[in-house]
Amino acid sequence: MAFQRLRLWLGIAALLSQLALGQSQAPPSSSSSSSSKSKSSLPHRKPDFEPGAVVNGIYRNPTLGLSCRIPAGWVLRTEEMNARNEDAAAPSANDGRVLLAAFSRPPDARGEDVNSSIVIAAEPQSAYSALKEAAQYFGPLTEVAKAQGFTVDQEPYEFAVGPRTVVRSDFHKDIGTRVMRQATLAFIANGYAISITVIASTEDEVRDLVDNVAFAAAKPSGRPAK
């Protein structure tokens, strides 16, 4: 199924492939992104979607009923990821945003191993021509992953995480002697396609990062869904 655009995910996928290997210099970190409590929002634009916040090492978004524990010592780069995607893609008010971007080391620091990461993003369903369920989101997502050199390890499948049913697909990319492994979970909520992507070098680490994601009953945001 062809959708109108996949701008945010395209930007995230390309950037993660670079940052995971320390191949792209990230912007300087800000105090808000490195503090123990951080809210993600696009600059100069009032969010129309509750971004959630990181407090005491746990990202929580009550509107989605979503939480994600961030491993100790990881760095937050949510606002920087949004700024980079905005600069690269010049998104309109209808485009999505990164809700959480966390890395095992600063993205501008080179290392021998893959820079493990967790990225949670929200894209409005209105950005697509016929997106009705999460499984459809993996059509264009898989195309983008393949274009970035990833191979599909696991076709999209549904599974339950607490009260929420999500769709997951797994990929890997060989880079010399290293392997970059990616798992993406997606679901539809409040008129948005929500994606949770983890990148690591081993299947065990991918599993551990996915296990950090949890769901509870969602709370009304007080904002109209778009």
Q: Pick the range with the lowest mean pLDDT from 20-29, 107-116, 180-189, 205-214.
A: 20-29
In the predicted structure, residue 169 carries a pLDDT above the cut 70: yes
> Hey, CA dihedral for 128, 129, 135, 141, is it positive or negative?
negative
Which residues, at least 6 apart from 139, have a Cβ–Cβ distance to it below 8 Å?
1, 3
Helix axes 134-147, 7-19, angle to 10 degrees: 50
What was the pLDDT predicted at 185?
Answer: 96
Span 147-158, mean pLDDT?
A: 92
Span 87-100, mean pLDDT?
A: 65
What was the pLDDT predicted at 83?
Answer: 82
In the predicted structure, residue 164 carries a pLDDT above the cut 50: yes
Span 29-41, mean pLDDT?
A: 40
What was the pLDDT predicted at 44?
Answer: 40
What was the pLDDT predicted at 175?
Answer: 84
In the predicted structure, residue 17 carries a pLDDT above the cut 90: no
- d(CA 109, CA 63) in angstroms, rounded, equals 34
Maximum separation of any 2 CA atoms in the chain, in Å: 49
What was the pLDDT predicted at 219?
Answer: 75
Full set of structural domains in the chain with CATH: 7-22+49-215 (3.40.1000.10)
- d(CA 142, CA 132) in angstroms, rounded, equals 17
- pTM for the predicted model, two decimal places: 0.80
For 214, the token pair is 């949890």
pLDDT digits (tens, 9 = 90+) for 57-93: 999 999 999 999 999 999 999 998 888 766 555 444 4
Confidence of residue 50 (pLDDT cuts 50, 70, 90): confident
